[in-house]
Amino acid sequence: MSQIKIGWGEVSLTPNGRTVNLAGQFYERITDVVETPIATTALAIESGDDAVVFCACDLVSTSRSLLNAVREKLCGKIDLPLDKIIISAIHTHTAPSYAHRSDSVRGNSLDVLTKLMPDIKYEKLVSTNDANLLDGEEAFEFIADRIAEAVKLAWDNRADGIYATSFGRAAVGMCRRVCYDDGSAKMWGDVNMANFTELEAGNDSGVELLFTYTPDKKLTGVVANVACPAQVLEHRDFISSDYFGKLKGLIRKQYGEDVQLLGLVSPAGDQCPRDMIRWVEPETPINDPNIVRETVIEHTADPSMFDVKGCETVARRLANEVFFALENVDSYIDSAELTHKTILLDMPLRRVTIADRDNALAALEKFKKEHTGTINFRDNARMHIYAGTVARYETQQTVDTVEIEFHVLRLGDIAFATNPYELFLNYGNQIRARSLAKQTFLIQLCCGSYGYLPTEKAENGSHYSAYVSSGTSGHEGGNLLVRKTLTEINAMWKK
């Protein structure tokens, strides 16, 4: 086997001195305040004739158009096949939004509202008449340039290295979908009522860990794969890399400022950093009607997982596992088989029926009669399901499948597999349980962003994240993705 080569690169995504519109909610959040800097971190691994560059971004998502733009910027500037570059997001809701350009297969619900109500005006919470504002197209170019720079830096920095794998366990992600006795479900649903029956899914406290070193065993980086999006601070009005940024700070305080962190989020579309059973209120009000509780029982539990103290708590839990694992590393690998496969897969488009379309149109017509002139972010959120249903009906007249790109890799005894969704936890559990690899790292929201991919149980329960407009594929697509991913992983172990 060939000596493994490892390289790291980190480039800031913080738009210093510029005002940005934060991504991830139904309303505008305009800010230039930085709570924790955001960045893109790249890890290059080369062994024998194959290679990969993982690039994790402190963003809400990485669109297919962003991926293509990064690869185009690197064309002719890096001696690496461009499909070896894979880009993922930690799903922080406190990073700049950017234009998604041609990624429109989901259909645009706001376009539907505008078509039905051509004279409508959107009530802005904050004026955007700001020459200092980084608009969507400008943000796209800024982010693509920085990601390309990080990838090239990591590739150029590769040198002989060694690595070690480990495993930790930390309570970070918990199911955020609440089920009731009529079969319905709700994201952020209130559990303090007699009709509450259960949380829709479980959680995964396992943390897959990989550590990289120089040949003389100096730590150079940490890879942490966690089944929870980085969105403790998702409603706040500042720029932040959330718990992964806090974790990076703790690692660097302990091991040095030059140690890197590659934060990878496992399938966690139905997970959050909050304990829905031991609900703890936000420290200050939040503009989300789903978070409001009529009756709140005070619990002795975590600090608020909507605020900085909660973010620091999550980071400390993960850091404890990372530090303990590092202290107990006793086996290092300097050569390993690396196999990297890029797969294009046609995923079935989730459809709506004519009856669903008609019901949605009726709801929108009723809304139109009751509202004239202006709508606000609450109206937009409330009408999202109906407008999205109509948009999907229009899309499915000409589109049957959506092509996705995903990656499967073998590095020694471990596997990596990506997907471009907010993939519900149980799909990831199925892949890990049946993977022949000794350890399986799974990365969601990678090489594209096609929305949530819910289970059949979630579709039946409905609500946000399981609506047809919440993503491009449903459970049939989820089952297909699981089968295809397992086939590709396990083929690497059976050859």
How do residues 275-285 score in pLDDT, each as one tens digit? 999 999 999 98
Q: What is the mean pLDDT of residues 108-122?
A: 69
At 381, the pLDDT band (50, 70, 90 cuts) reads confident
What's the one-letter identity of residue 30?
A: I
- Residue-level pLDDT at 288: 84
Residue 88 domain flag: yes
Residue 155 domain flag: yes
At 100, the pLDDT band (50, 70, 90 cuts) reads confident
- Residue-level pLDDT at 269: 98
Q: What is the mean pLDDT of residues 369-375?
A: 75
User: Is a pLDDT exceeding 70 seen at residue 445?
Assistant: yes
Who's near 330: CB < 8 A, 6+ residues apart? none
User: Is a pLDDT exceeding 80 seen at residue 463?
Assistant: yes
Residue 169 domain flag: yes
Residue 211 domain flag: yes
Residue 386 domain flag: no
Tokens at 454, concatenated: 């819910």
Question: When comparing pLDDT for 26 and 231, which is higher?
Answer: 231
At 218, the pLDDT band (50, 70, 90 cuts) reads very high
Domain count, the chain: 1
Residue percentage of the chain with pLDDT more than 90: 81
At 494, the pLDDT band (50, 70, 90 cuts) reads confident
- Residue-level pLDDT at 27: 79
Say how far apart CA 24 and CA 59 lie, in whole Å. 9
Query: Which residue range is the domain that position 213 belongs to?
Result: 5-105+131-343+403-494
Query: What pTM did the predictor assign?
Result: 0.96
At 384, the pLDDT band (50, 70, 90 cuts) reads confident
Q: What is the mean pLDDT of residues 136-151?
A: 96
User: Is a pLDDT exceeding 60 seen at residue 421?
Assistant: yes
Residue 336 domain flag: yes
Residue 18 domain flag: yes
Residue 138 domain flag: yes
- Compute how many other C-beta atoms are within 10 angstroms of the C-beta atom of residue 206: 17
Q: What is the mean pLDDT of residues 435-462?
A: 98
